[in-house]
Every structure is written in C-alpha cells, then in structure tokens.
Amino acid sequence: MPISVEAKRPERRREAGFTPRPRSAEAGFTLVELMVVLAVIGLLAGVAVWRWPGGDERARADAVAFATRVAAAREQAILSGRSQALHLDAAGYRFEQRSRGEWLPSAEKALGERRWSRGVRAELAAPAVRLRFDSVGLPDSPLSLTLRGPGNTVTIQVQADGEVIVS
C-alpha cells in the first residue's frame, strides 16, 4: 500500500497566523559591525588622550632617556672592566670607552651621540662637562644637570656612588 505524504502548503501557515517575512539587512547590527564601531571609538579616544593638552614633556623625556643611558654606561663600565666617559654640552652628549690606552666612541649603539630635543636646553656649570666612570662604576665627581623645556624643568643628578636621580 503506497503511503502518500501531503506537501505542506504555504496557505496553511497563513491560516495559522504566521506570515513569513524575509529578514532585512536593516533589521539590526551584526556582531562584526558592533566590534568595528567599538574599535573606531577606542582609537579616537586614544588619539584624544594622546593629544590632550597637559604641558610639553620634552625636557622630562630627554632627562629620562639621558639618565637611562648614563646608568647603562655605568653598568657597561662594571661589566667590561673598562672605564666609560660621558661628554656633555649644551647641545647634547656622547659616551666613550677606554680601550688600548685611548678613549674611543662607545661601540654600543644605545650609547651613541645624542642631541637634546628641539626647545630643550641644558644648563651646566661649565660649557662642557666630562664625567668618567671607573671600572667599578664610580664617577670621578658628582654631576648635576638641569634641562629646561617649553613646559617644564627637570634636574638630573649623578651622585658620588653612581646612582642617577631624575627629579
């Protein structure tokens, strides 16, 4: 005996009160669209915070970079067992190391010659200063340096024990 299956007719669904409607792309947002919008808002907020007026920090940035490099030169003197020297003037600074009885520019890329940022001035007791770290990391004399920028003033001190302080 053959079994027949009656095909469902669309009219029956309408009779039951259900009317199928195709979904429109304008019915809502997809998760990807929401994530893109959130990413754009995050980027714009980041740019706004970055550009927020809070004073010019070039002098502080130069001071921190300088202090970090001085500390690295001191560590290099200790690790290599060779003296390191810092030459400092109003325009910038450079490092040298003692090798084969003479002073040579530092071989370390991080200790290469640097210039202060535009608008930053170094105030020194003399036109040029030379500070030497011996093979145990002690400076030949303490050093105090003031950097003045358009928005702030920062003091860097190299103490007698070789510690570098930025204030």
Q: pTM of this prediction?
A: 0.66
User: Which residue, 70, 80, 75, is CA-closest to 144?
Assistant: 70
Identify the three-state secondary structure at position 37: helix
Whether 93 shows a pLDDT value over 90: the answer reads: yes
The alpha carbon dihedral of 49, 57, 84, 81 has a sign of: negative
| Structure confidence by residue, pLDDT tens digits, 30-56 | 889 889 999 999 888 888 776 665 556
Domain ranges of the chain: 58-166
| Structure confidence by residue, pLDDT tens digits, 3-30 | 655 555 556 566 666 666 665 656 778 8
What is 58-166's CATH number, 3.40.720.10, 3.30.70.260, 3.40.50.1100, 3.55.40.10? 3.55.40.10
Identify the three-state secondary structure at position 117: coil
Identify the three-state secondary structure at position 161: coil
| Structure confidence by residue, pLDDT tens digits, 94-119 | 999 988 889 999 888 888 899 999 88
Task: Work out the burial of residue 70: count CB atoms within 10 Å of its CB; fewer than 13 is exposed, 13-18 middle, 19 or more buried.
Answer: buried
* AA letter at 91: A
Backbone angles phi, psi at 97, to 5 degrees: -130, 150
